[in-house]
Amino acid sequence: MTPDRPALVSTSGFTLVELAALFTRGFAGYLVPVHVSPEALATRIRVEHVDLEASRVVVDAQGAALALALIARRGRECRLAAFGIVEAARGQGLGTRAMTGLIEEARTRGDRRMLLEVFEANRAGVALYERLGFVTQRPLIGWEGALPPVEDPALREVEPGALGHAIARHREPDAPPLPWQVRAEGFVGMTAPYRAFALDDAIATVVTRGPALHLSGLFTRPGARRRGQAARLVRAIVAHLGPDRVIVPPIVPEEIARDWCAAVGLVPSALAQREMALAL
């Protein structure tokens, strides 16, 4: 560690309990409430392909943890999956110094691009990443609302990874790349508490959190679109599971979800993100 560079220690030497506690501390007072359990962190590591060897705990000279940076990797592309600084260490330039080290490590590994998502309302975060050379790729919008339940005897539950297999098998080869969290690779690795349901040629992955149903992913085979299958599927899931509202997290490009969400009665949520990228 030098005065201008904090020590970056691999997360592989920490337990999930320790990392989950540091994750929660690092996002204390954040835009949205964050409390991460070891079980939830384990799921995130698996689904998002977080590399614990490449991920870092930022420590001071005494070895006290100041921040957590989770780095996900697929091929030659990496993603800053989470970056949280404990409250006592904020406002001291630690974010810039730590991110500079993470970028240098990515280049040394041979990664060609680093991605991240940041909430639009997090102006300090947006400014930090822009200073480091990250360029906005597109907005990522969330949606929410109460959908009328409509029972459908054709609804069937399938194995949790089925959505990922469907996207990999049927997505058009010339379609624009999807954000990291809604790519086939992540859905393939999903297990409980995520559940997947299908109806005709539409398939969805969902998870229940309190009274809300989070719609993590939705896909209809290209040749079967514009027939109302996706809407029927989601309303049938609502009838089956009984949530009071449906939430689409802000990880979906606006151009992909806007028309469908508006048609079924969902409205944009208060928080939106932007996807950013840095060529390495």
pTM exceeding the 0.75 threshold for the entire prediction: yes
161 and 218 part of one domain: yes
On whether the CB atoms of residues 38 and 17 are closer than 8 A, the answer is yes
29 and 147 part of one domain: no
Q: Could you tell me if residue 131 is inside a domain? A: no
How confident is the model at residue 2, as a pLDDT? 53
How confident is the model at residue 226, as a pLDDT? 94
98 and 222 part of one domain: no
Q: Could you tell me if residue 203 is inside a domain? A: yes
97 and 146 part of one domain: no
**CA torsion sign, 255 to 161 to 114 to 95?**
positive
Q: How far is CA 256 from CA 51, 139, 273, in A?
A: 29, 11, 15
On whether the CB atoms of residues 267 and 234 are closer than 8 A, the answer is no
Domain count, the chain: 2
100 and 155 part of one domain: no
How confident is the model at residue 5, as a pLDDT? 66
Residue 1 has pLDDT above 80, yes or no: no
Q: Could you tell me if residue 118 is inside a domain? A: no
Burial 241-277, CB ≥16 within 10 A → b, else e: eebeebbbbbbbbbebbeebbeebebebeeeebbbbb
152 and 268 part of one domain: yes
Count other C-beta atoms under 10 Å from residue 133's C-beta. Answer: 13
DSSP secondary structure code for residue 211 in this structure: T
Q: Could you tell me if residue 262 is inside a domain? A: yes
270 and 155 part of one domain: yes
Give the angle 72-76-78 at the CA atoms, nearest 5°: 25
By C-alpha distance, which of 271, 253, 280 is closest to 134? 280
Distance between CA atoms of residues 197 and 205, nearest Å: 7
166 and 252 part of one domain: yes
Tens of pLDDT, residue by residue over 183-218, are: 999 999 999 999 999 999 999 999 999 999 999 999
Tens of pLDDT, residue by residue over 13-66, are: 999 999 999 999 999 999 888 999 999 999 999 999 999 999 999 999 899 999
Report the pLDDT averaged over residues 234-248.
98
Q: Could you tell me if residue 127 is inside a domain? A: no
How confident is the model at residue 4, as a pLDDT? 59
152 and 64 part of one domain: no
Count other C-beta atoms under 10 Å from residue 178's C-beta. Answer: 18
Q: Among 60, 93, 111, where does a domain finish?
A: 111
Q: Could you tell me if residue 19 is inside a domain? A: yes
How confident is the model at residue 33, as a pLDDT? 83
How confident is the model at residue 163, as a pLDDT? 98
Domain hosting residue 35, numbered range: 7-111
274: CB partners within 8 A, 6+ apart: 117, 118, 120, 126, 136, 137, 138, 139, 140
238: domain CATH number is 3.40.630.30
Q: Could you tell me if residue 129 is inside a domain? A: no
On whether the CB atoms of residues 39 and 193 are closer than 8 A, the answer is no
Distance between CA atoms of residues 173 and 162, nearest Å: 19
270 and 147 part of one domain: yes
161 and 86 part of one domain: no
By C-alpha distance, which of 23, 34, 104, 4 is closest to 70? 23
Q: Among 111, 132, 156, where does a domain finish?
A: 111
How confident is the model at residue 6, as a pLDDT? 77
181 and 270 part of one domain: yes
Q: DSSP per residue over 86-100, as a string?
A: -GGGTTSSHHHHHHH
Distance between CA atoms of residues 168 and 184, nearest Å: 6
Tens of pLDDT, residue by residue over 92-143, are: 999 999 999 999 999 999 999 999 999 999 999 999 999 999 999 999 999 9
